[in-house]
Amino acid sequence: MAKGIKTEWTEEMLHRMKFEFKYAYNKQLAIDLGVSWRTLVRKAREMGLEKEEGFLEKRKQHIQYLARAKRGPNATKGMKGWCIPNSEATRFKPGNISPMTTSQKTRDKVSRSRLKTIEEEKYRIREGIDQITKLKLKV
């Protein structure tokens, strides 16, 4: 599978391609034959091979399972259109603006509260008391 090296196709490899390509996943067949995925696809086109009718539909459940397994622990991160369920009720409606952007008084109040929390957490760390928040602070 080295780049730039011409693949020598044996009769056994061609025979296996002819009979398995129609039903097998390309990546797995490429691994079994010891060639790159792209080389396999190129050779299949050259030989005029195609997947069976409804190949993806028949394997939809398995493909979805593989996709979910690959997503990992934060499965919804970056998914277009995803939102927190039932969060619509607490969102700003069109035309409404957050008080944090318009009111200096609100910003000052939030800032004071945040600084007070940070100071309390730093005190807890210095005194060896368990933290209440999940803030990661350096003392």
User: What is the full DSSP assignment across 25-63?
Assistant: -HHHHHHHHTS-HHHHHHHHHHHT--PPTTHHHHTHHHH
Does residue 105 sit in the same domain as residue 55?
no
**Residue 37 phi, psi (nearest 5):** -60, -45
Domain stop point among 25, 54, 70: 70
pTM: 0.48
- Asked, for residue 86, whether it belongs to a domain, the answer is no
Q: What is the mean pLDDT of residues 18-36?
A: 92
95 belongs to a structural domain: no
- Residue 99, pLDDT above cutoff 60: yes
Co-location of 66 and 105 in the same domain? no
pLDDT of 6 over the 90 cut: no
Residue 47 in contact with residue 18, Cβ under 8 Å? Answer: yes
Average pLDDT of the segment spanning 42-52: 93
What mean pLDDT, rounded, does the chain reach?
Answer: 86
For residue 90, tell me if it sits in a domain: no
Q: In the chain, how many domains are there?
A: 2
Assess if residue 80 is contained within a domain: no
Angle between helices 37-47 and 11-20 (to 10 degrees): 80
**Whether residues 61 and 104 fall in one domain:** no
Asked if residue 104 is part of any domain, the answer here is yes
